[in-house]
Structure 1
């Protein structure tokens, strides 16, 4: 009995010693991570984030904790990158380490278990899909082939604004609504050769498409408990969120299938303009891809095109017009440039854009201050890595805050929040194509947006014609100071309040 008691007393400190060593190891591991705000047990920093504008809140944290900020969101370890120097480390120096994607419930479902391009993990399938996209879908020659679609649809929008300005003199025109309609129409034509006319059956189909797209955007940004607390996945079902996700997936899947069936119908006949669906189905039939392309791959790619192509281009044009309205000198310069270059021709086509360096600077400056996806798409580390002197473990989620980088005084000098397109004519030439990490609205490295050239073509052509065709004023009783810069929460940074302006046709 005494011997057993002695063994018990000798063994008693052992669990305490093991607990001490474990806590000490965790403390040393956390000390190796970048600094960040102290979180609560179990939930970490989840309650400290502002869901309405996370990019701004994370930028504010970087002012305290530095260019690399560490957070804990439930089980997820997150590091936020807020300077161009650190972004270059992530997207160039250690690009291979940080080029995968985190797995979340919403993204997995809507991407057909990572069979897409934007949200897929970095593997052989992704590499083949990217090659396919760069060569067959978004090459410069392919983008150029869709030029007639872009020019036709922009011309129709200009006609619509012109009719509105004549019939409703001094009444404001909803430019936000017009741009969303324009970009969705262009994307539908480019992707599957359809133009949904307003009113009648076309109007119903357009409404259906937009409703599905809005719900998909909502699913991407919804908070799923199971992403942060795997043991609490039942909460997502009880709340109805899983049901909403399943319904959205099934409805969009049916939409994709209808488009595929129409293209496979032998009676469809040969089309004048080959669309993206035609190209994908040719590859699917021919089996020329190293990865066996399935219909799920095609549907997942369509999701990327719809979600990435519709909202982002519209948002960029609306923010450009907002900044120009707030900066009349810049507006005057941009309009003078385009009107002198085009003269009385009546329409700015894509060849003319190359003669408009100030307009291109306006677009760059807008994307610097209001990138369409302010936190880009999150990355995930595939292995342990040293970044900025800190140890970043494998499976760490990396957010590159493009919005914060665009406001970094080290990269942009004094008054980085000032809208000043002239800065792109001073000193170093900076572009948006992934080589200059001060300006990365489309990302960089292996994960750069493959549709970048198509997006820029949409934005520059739309903006140039809006500036050429009309003089713009604020609605009666309002000044440019009344234009708010608030944003809607979501993957794409939309202006919270629609941009409504009075258009007066310019006499050419």
Structure 2
């Protein structure tokens, strides 16, 4: 069993589960309830609150002329959003449950991505040559203990009807777990594994994409100025941009598309054949894995003009670009930052909401530029109130 399989409770999760009844049920559940439009709408106040907290923190640091690690603060922002949406808890400076889960999941993701010699060489499969066995068991046991505690707290609150009427992701999963007539019976391991997927796939990815976007904009001040002009013209200077405003900001949308083209959150996508097949005369046996280089596809000169140039204009309708109608979740195989097909990322909608709004708010509220020794200089532009 690979590191990732062990950490995901033997593929009891959603991301690594084999195609079959459980995976299809979880996919349907993700698209309709867990990450569906209604659930995202219910948690809109959570995302708005966390974004305001983030902006106030930057404002406080700027006012005190303090240095700030923007990348680290973006990760904290997305962690807080996921923590509150999934568990109704937020990261804080204290060692609370949400912070412990965040740190444990980060450690689990690091171990899952490491090459394990024991699984690569068949006669070493029973040997723990790199000491991963002990580390894997330790971190999964700690995660299991922490999640069991959080789940029992939720169950106790549900029995006492102590909730505020708005269900978090864990509540929805517990509803299915307790429903004896559910299409697929969900285990506690399934729930723990899915929450791990949310933290692992939903925090660093959005934060890193936003950080890449800010980096590109700092290096292309004309693009940033154009984005700021659009925001000021459409939104005005008396309120902070919101998720519902993004649809009215086509240049901002083009910027995010260009960021995803050059800096996809998943540079490599893995797919596996479910059965024997023949492609272009080649016999491909079942279980064969293929790795799709999304990073290279986004920079392919056969599909993109000046592929290494950061140019959001390539996605604008008024520029007459053939790429203006490209959507990040459609079947345009030269632009698949979230993958494609059945295994495409179910959290794409949430990720786009977070990246669009966060980056737009940072452009709107601050001036960003490179200064001496390539340090990022920024100052507050307007009062948040």
TM-score range, shorter chain: over 0.9
Distance 1:288 1:411, change over 3 A: farther
Matched, 1:434 2:303: no
The C-alpha deviation readout for 1:252-306, integer Å capped at 9, x for no partner, is 1112111101101134612243100111111111134322111111111111111
TM superposition shift of 1:458: 1.0
Larger Rg: 1
- State how far apart, in whole Å, the 1-side matches of 2:338 and 2:39 are: 19
2:231 is matched with 338
- 1:74-113 matches, within 5 Å, as 105-113=2-10
1:221 is matched with 113
Distance 1:466 1:389, change over 3 A: farther
Matched, 1:505 2:380: yes
1:451 is matched with 347
TM superposition shift of 1:154: 0.3
C-alpha RMSD of matched pairs (Å): 1.7
**Paired residue for 2:219, among 326, 333, 357?**
326
TM superposition shift of 1:344: 2.3
Structure showing greater relative contact order (alpha-carbon pairs closer than 8 Å, 6 or more residues apart): 1
Gaps of 5+ in 1: 1-103, 480-499
Matched, 1:238 2:113: no
- 1:82-481 matches, within 5 Å, as 105-168=2-65, 171-198=66-93, 200-202=94-96, 205=97, 207-235=99-127, 237-265=128-156, 266-267=159-160, 269-376=162-269, 378-413=270-305, 415-425=306-316, 426-428=321-323, 429-474=325-370, 476-479=371-374
- State how far apart, in whole Å, the 1-side matches of 2:106 and 2:27 are: 26
SS of 2:106's partner is helix
1:46 is matched with none
Q: Is the 8 A contact 1:262 1:268 kept in 2?
A: no
TM superposition shift of 1:207: 4.5
The C-alpha deviation readout for 1:135-192, integer Å capped at 9, x for no partner, is 2211112112211111110011001101111111xx5421101100000000000001
- State how far apart, in whole Å, the 2-side matches of 1:334 and 1:388 are: 46
Q: Is the 8 A contact 1:165 1:502 kept in 2?
A: no
SS of 1:410's partner is coil
**TM (normalized to structure 1)?**
0.71
SS of 1:117's partner is coil
The alignment covers a number of residue pairs equal to 376
